[in-house]
């Protein structure tokens, strides 16, 4: 089922939680609402579910305006971070609950309800646990039961609020792979909220990056990571280093010295240079470079992370170098980004003001 969100606003008293948000979600798509705390992502999910109603704008399910339709009539499956399972019910009864409380006219028979619940137990790979209670399950197993319960009602739309937030890192990775495979099998239109960028990049067909009640960017994981359209998106998605610079005559300068980077498409004035720590080259010879003082190093799996302070203002950036690179005997390093993006300095609500230089190789 397609979902259209049209100029939706949401206010709690005088506090604006969402500002004229518009978004199209295609049928069968897996969409991540990604952002920091307070960005409005959970509010948007609750509006789609019918747990809240918009102050303005509209939400359409297919061709139907569902903006004021109560949650009971929307036929959506909702999975909470806290699982919200009934402790006094067995796993099987938890899964079957949504079917058993339907009005008599639409309620399946007891046999059909049991068959459906057992079928979902197999789908979520929990065969043989039907008689256990939630307290007898691991966190990952409880989350699978919660998802099976949401699927039992055959929802038009599946919504997940921080579905793996309460689990440890290893279990989260395993469940991410499992959820992606499950989505590909069932084909439900699915929207999930997360603040974990790795989770969004790995799971979603498209990512909706949110900040301060607004959508900053919508795109595929590759689009969002490789072509961030604002300093916020660059800084929030993936690891990054940001360095204040000045553009003069098409050249990027640090402390009034050119650093060997062309500012194509960016006018003269102050700007911020963004690059990924792993996408730099160390320069040993002479020439225009970014030079800094080593202030800290640490092992990072197969590489080493190095903190540098740049210039008299001692702006700190982070870069990644090979483990065999000897930096212990040297107090300085010179580098040049292989790929970067340059943003003119703009106001707090004008992240895209002026020109932007796309990632440059």
The predicted structure's pLDDT at residue 118? 93
The predicted structure's pLDDT at residue 327? 76
Q: Are 247 and 271 within 8 A, CB to CB?
A: yes
Phi-psi region of 83 (alpha: psi -120 to 50; beta: other; left: phi over 0): left
The predicted structure's pLDDT at residue 351? 42
The predicted structure's pLDDT at residue 328? 63
CATH of domain 239-360: 2.40.50.140
Domains 3-231 and 239-360 belong to one CATH topology: no
Low-confidence ranges of the chain (pLDDT < 50): 347-359, 361
Q: Which of 15, 13, 4 is nearest to 57 (CA)?
A: 4
Q: Which positions ≥6 away from 112 have C-beta within 8 Å?
A: none
Q: Which of 279, 290, 275 is nearest to 234 (CA)?
A: 275
The predicted structure's pLDDT at residue 353? 39
Sort 264 into a burial class: Cβ within 10 Å, 0-12 / 13-18 / 19+: exposed
The predicted structure's pLDDT at residue 326? 76
Q: Which positions ≥6 away from 238 have C-beta within 8 Å?
A: 197, 225, 276
Q: Which of 161, 163, 149, 158 is nearest to 188 (CA)?
A: 158
How many other C-beta atoms are found inside a 10 Å radius of the C-beta of residue 258? 16
How do beta strands 280-282 and 269-275 pair?
Answer: unpaired
Collapse the DSSP code of 240 into the 3-class scheme (helix H, G, I; strand E, B; otherwise coil) and give the result: coil
Sort 103 into a burial class: Cβ within 10 Å, 0-12 / 13-18 / 19+: exposed
Model confidence pLDDT, tens digit, residues 129-154: 999 999 999 988 988 899 899 998 88
The predicted structure's pLDDT at residue 235? 93
CA gap 177, 98 in Å, rounded: 26
CATH H-level superfamily of 3-231: P-loop containing nucleotide triphosphate hydrolases (3.40.50.300)
Q: Which positions ≥6 away from 94 have C-beta within 8 Å?
A: 85, 86, 134, 145, 149
Total-model pTM:
0.87
Q: What pairs with residue 319 in β-bridges?
A: 306
The predicted structure's pLDDT at residue 16? 93
The predicted structure's pLDDT at residue 300? 84
CA distances from residue 147 to 2, 28, 97, 153 in whole angstroms, order as listed: 21, 17, 13, 11
Q: Are 186 and 179 within 8 A, CB to CB?
A: no
Domain boundaries, the chain: 3-231, 239-360
């Amino acid at each position: 089922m397609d979902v259209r969100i049209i100029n939706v606003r949401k206010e709690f008293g005088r506090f604006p939680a969402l500002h004229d948000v518009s978004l199209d979600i295609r049928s069968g798509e897996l969409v991540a609402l990604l952002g920091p705390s307070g960005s409005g992502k959970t509010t948007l999910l609750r509006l789609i579910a019918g747990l809240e109603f918009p102050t303005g704008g509209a939400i359409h399910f297919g061709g139907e305006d569902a903006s004021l339709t109560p949650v009971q009539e929307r036929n959506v499956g909702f999975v909470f971070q806290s699982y919200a399972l009934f402790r006094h019910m067995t796993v099987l009864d938890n899964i079957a609950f949504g079917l058993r409380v339907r009005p008599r006219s639409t309620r399946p028979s007891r046999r059909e309800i049991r068959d459906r619940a057992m079928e979902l137990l197999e789908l979520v790979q929990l065969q043989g646990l039907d008689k256990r209670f939630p307290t007898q399950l691991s966190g990952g197993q409880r989350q699978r039961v919660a998802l099976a319960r949401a699927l039992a009602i055959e929802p038009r739309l599946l919504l997940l609020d921080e579905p793996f937030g309460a689990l440890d890192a290893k279990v989260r990775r395993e469940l991410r792979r499992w959820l992606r495979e499950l989505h590909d099998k069932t084909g439900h239109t699915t929207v999930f909220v997360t603040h974990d960028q790795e989770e969004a990049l790995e799971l979603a067909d498209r990512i909706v990056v949110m900040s301060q009640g607004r959508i900053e960017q919508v795109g595929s994981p590759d689009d969002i990571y490789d072509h961030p359209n604002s300093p916020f998106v660059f800084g929030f998605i993936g690891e990054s280093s940001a360095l204040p610079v000045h553009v003069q005559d098409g050249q990027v300068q640090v402390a009034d010295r050119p650093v060997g980077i062309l500012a194509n498409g960016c006018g003269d004035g102050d700007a911020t240079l963004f690059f990924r720590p792993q996408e730099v080259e160390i320069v040993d010879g002479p020439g225009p470079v970014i030079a800094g003082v080593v202030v800290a190093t640490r092992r990072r799996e197969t590489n080493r992370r190095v903190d540098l302070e740049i210039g008299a203002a001692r702006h700190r950036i982070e870069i990644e170098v090979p483990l065999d690179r000897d930096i212990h005997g040297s107090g300085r390093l010179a580098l040049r980004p292989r790929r970067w993006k340059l943003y003119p300095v703009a106001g707090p609500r004008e992240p895209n003001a002026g020109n932007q230089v796309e990632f440059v190789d």
